A and B are shown apart, each in its own frame.
Chain A
Amino acid sequence: MTFRTLSSCSAAILCAATALLFTACDDDNETPAKGKLNVEFENVAGSQPLNFGSTYTTAAGDPFTVSKFNYYISNIKLTKTDGTEWAERESYHLVKQADAGSRSFQLTDIPAGEYKKLTFTIGVDSARNVSGAQTGALDPLNDMFWTWSTGYVFLKMEGNSPKSPTGNLQFHIGGFRSPNNTIRTVSPGMPAGVTVQVTAKKTSAIHLQADVLKMFTGPNPIQFAQTSNTGHSSDPNSVKIAANYAAGMFTIAHVRAGE
């Protein structure tokens, strides 16, 4: 016991000393190296690319088209192979199918190292749902904010289907109060055997796919004849769809090592 403490203690001292030495000799005097990582979102419908106006079919056999597909990705975290975590600050991103530029963004200031896990929230944490006027991705100008029951729409999917009683599909998912809390945090698995290298010199990319069909399958299969719109911050149907998309809408298709 004593030995152990001693040895780990001396190890720590040794490490600290080495670290000091390193910093001392490092010419640009930089403490731990930082790097960047690109995160890319590609929206798909099953095995096909998502295009507005194209007809797709849900697992339940309902044909539909898409005219809008937006979602918030927030509070991004990366976990190293040694278990340490890094969290992006002010981590709010709005991905819009209609805006190619919004579909990829860069994480910066990440400690260099080997990362094995990506975690993020689909939606916006409850604190920011009740905060004052926000800017950037959370600007209420972005058409993702409910005014009569203030809070963010976490995901918007709109389109058409002959199976819908009105012909329209309008899924506005949001709400952060129990029992209809739709905030979901996911960690889509990395491709087998793959890790992400973050270094000061090279910027890798994580390429995710978001499969719109997964909104309607999973724990709560959806048929448009019964459910064709949710537009309320306390809608049990929104919770069902959030459970579906949390269960597998996002997958990591591949990781591109920085060149």
Chain B
Amino acid sequence: MKRTRTAPLAAVLAGLLMAGCQPDADVQQPAEAVPGSVLPGNFPTPVYALEQNSPDRATFELGRRLFYDKRLSGDGTVACSSCHLQPAAFADPGRAFSTGVQGRLGTRNTPPLQNLRWRRTLLWDGGASNLEVMPLAPLTNPLEMDGSLAGALQTLNADAYYRRRFAAVYGEGPINSQQFLRALAQYLAGLTSANSRYDHYVRREGGAFDATELRGLAIFRANCASCHATDLFTDESFRNNGLDRSFPADSGRAHITGRRGERGLFKVPSLRNVALTAPYMHDGRFPTLGAVLAHYDHGVVESATLDPALRRPDGSLGIPLSAQQQAELLAFLQTLTDEPLLTNPQLGPPQ
């Protein structure tokens, strides 16, 4: 079931039109669809609809430039891209916690940025409810970019290049917070992961699975897909997968809602590109996927909010997985790596 949309065509036309009067090289770019303007056929309806911020080349390029611009941070040393690295699906590989300005260490593991258009809430605790305002969190967090919205706007408005590019999209006048946030959101919404071997397999576009991967897929569907659901590999719910008995440092969802019954619940993460995003979990406690599977097999611990899916009828906890099943699951998880997302130059640093 392929979705057809007019947005890509419109964007291409707009791009062509723009090319006539725009001197900037990236805006003149070819008739390639703007990233994010095509919705994968195997995905559910997006939360942040195309129409909410119709993809067009000039806005996307503006957003991309912002994402890679260190000057948005308080001391000019940290960009969004400092923690969100394209070769790792925009996660921060090998680090449990990322470093922000002045080498300050964060408190949660940096997730990959992909398929954000489909997020009902963002962040491990769901604290951000809209993609457009979400960047305000890292921008102003003293441990991350330690900047301010006013400061970022001042930087942009003092820059003739940005002034010209924003004016081309939004019209003359000082760059305002809405323009800034919507341009950035358009880039973020364009980070679509839908071209892994798994996608080709389920969309029947060629790319067969071998016997091990097929068994891994079957084990996954039987044991994991209740939470890591749909082809987004998350049902967007908050759950406790048995990491801890108590939650003194980070209560997760309860931090946002204040509800006791939600202590220790975290957003079910997507598993796309999971082979590249170690270490794992909200605090980066597991260095390898093997360690994650070992956790589900025999590491799940009791707590008041432990998810019922991880309680077995005999009273024991977790998801029993033999060594062979773990190997098969690992093989399957590798098929979720999406090369085009990691290498697409349109998503990389602007020239």
Q: What is A's interface to B at a CB cutoff of 8 Å?
A: 129-135, 139-141, 145, 147-151, 177, 179-180, 232-236
Contact B137 A147 (CB under 8 A): yes
Question: Chain B residues with Cβ under 8 A from A148's Cβ?
Answer: 123, 127-128, 137, 141
Contact: A140 with B149, CB < 8 Å?
yes
Q: Is the CB of B130 within 8 A of A150?
A: yes
Chain B residues proximal to chain A, CB less than 8 Å: 52-53, 123, 127-134, 136-137, 139-141, 149-150, 153, 176-178, 180-182, 185, 255-259
Residue from the list B52, B123, B127 in contact with A132, Cβ < 8 A: B52
Interface of B is mostly: helix
Q: Does the CB pair B141–A179 fall under 8 Å?
A: no
Partner of A234, one of B123, B136, B185, B257: B257
Known: A148-B141, A149-B256, A177-B257. A132 touches B185 (CB 8 A): yes
Q: List 5 A-B contacts (CB under 8 A).
A: A130-B129, A135-B176, A145-B133, A147-B136, A150-B127
* Contact between chains at A234 and B177 (CB < 8 Å): no
**Closest approach, in angstroms, between the C-beta of A121 and any C-beta of chain B?**
19
Check A131–B130 contact: CB distance below 8 A: yes
Contacts A132-B131, A135-B177, A147-B141 aside, 8 further interface pairs with beta carbons under 8 A come to A133-B180, A135-B176, A140-B136, A141-B149, A145-B136, A148-B141, A180-B258, A236-B258
Among B141, B176, B178, B181, the most chain A Cβ lie within 10 Å of the Cβ of: B178
Q: How far is the CB of B311 from chain A (nearest CB, A)?
A: 27
- The 5 residue pairs across chains A and B that have the minimum distance between CB atoms: A234-B258, A132-B132, A133-B181, A147-B136, A130-B129
Cα–Cα distance between A11 and B166 once the two chains are bound (Å)? 58
Q: How far is the CB of B184 from chain A (nearest CB, A)?
A: 9
Measured between beta carbons, the chain A residues less than 8 angstroms from B255 are 149
State whether A133 touches B129 (Cβ < 8 A). no
Structural contact, A133 and B256, CB atoms closer than 8 A: no
Contact present for B258 and A232 (CB under 8 Å):
yes
Contact indicator A133/B258 (Cβ below 8 Å): no
| Inter-chain contact B258/A132, CB cutoff 8 Å | no
Task: State in angstroms the CA–CA spacing of A233 and B126 once bound together.
Answer: 13
Assuming the A-B contacts A129-B129, A131-B130, are A150 and B136 also in contact, with contact meaning beta carbons closer than 8 angstroms in the complex? yes
A145 CA to B258 CA, complexed, in Å: 18
Residues of B near A132 (CB, < 8 A) are 52-53, 130-133, 181-182, 185
Known: A132-B52, A139-B177, A180-B258. A147 touches B133 (CB 8 A): yes
Chain B residues near A236: list those with CB within 8 A: 258
Q: Determine whether the beta carbon of A140 is less than 8 Å from that of B258.
A: no
| Distance in Å: Cβ of B318 to nearest Cβ of chain A | 31
Whether B134 and A150, one on each chain, are in contact in the complex, defined by CB atoms closer than 8 angstroms, is yes
Give Cα distance in the complex from A149 to B133, angstroms: 10
> Measured between C-beta atoms, what is the minimum distance from A153 to chain B in Å?
13
Task: Determine the residue in chain B with the shortest Cβ distance to A138.
Answer: B178
Chain A residue at minimum C-beta to C-beta distance from B138: A147
Q: Which of A133, A145, A147, A179 contacts B178 (CB 8 A)?
A: A133
Known: A135-B178, A141-B177, A148-B141. A130 touches B259 (CB 8 A): no
User: Whole-angstrom distance between the alpha carbons of A131 and B123 in the complex?
Assistant: 16
Q: Which residues of B contact A131 (CB under 8 A)?
A: 130
Q: Which residue of A lies closest to B52 (CB)?
A: A132
User: Could you say which of A140, A177, A179, A235 contacts B133, with CB atoms under 8 Å apart?
Assistant: A140
Residue in A133, A140, A150, A177 with the greatest tally of chain B CB atoms within 10 Å: A133
Query: Are A235 and B258 in contact, with the CB atoms below 8 A?
Result: yes
**Once the chains bind, are A133 and B133 in contact (CB under 8 Å)?**
yes
Taken together as a complex, chains A and B put the C-alpha atoms of A149 and B136 apart, in Å, by: 10
Complex Cα gap A147–B144 (Å): 13
Distance, CA A132 to CA B133, complexed state (A): 6
Instruction: Please indicate the chain A residues that have their CB under 8 angstroms from the CB of B258 in the complex.
Output: 179-180, 232, 234-236
- Taking a contact as CB atoms under 8 Å apart, the answer to whether A151 and B129 are in contact is yes
Tell me, rounded to whole Å, the shortest Cβ–Cβ distance linking B194 to chain A.
Answer: 23
Picked from B132, B140, B177, B256, the residue with its CB within 8 Å of the CB of A147 is: B140
Tell me whether B259 and A179 are in contact (CB under 8 A): yes
Distance (whole angstroms) from the CB of A100 to the closest CB of chain B: 21
| A214 → chain B closest CB, angstroms | 25
When distances are taken between beta carbons in the complex, the residues of chain A under 8 Å from B149 are 140-141
Closest beta carbon of chain A to B251's beta carbon, Å: 11
Name the distance in Å between B249's Cβ and chain A's nearest Cβ.
Answer: 16
Smallest CB-CB separation from A147: which chain B residue?
B136
Q: Which residues of A contact B182 (CB under 8 A)?
A: 132-133
Bound: A139/B185 CA distance, A: 16
Expressed in whole angstroms, the minimum distance between the Cβ of A232 and any Cβ of chain B is 7
List of B residues within 8 angstroms of A150 by Cβ: 127-130, 133-134, 136-137
Q: How distant is A139 from chain B, measured CB to nearest CB, in Å?
A: 6
Q: How far is the CB of A77 from chain B (nearest CB, A)?
A: 26
Q: Is the CB–CB distance between A234 and B176 below 8 Å?
A: no
Return chain B residues, CB-CB under 8 Å to A232. 258
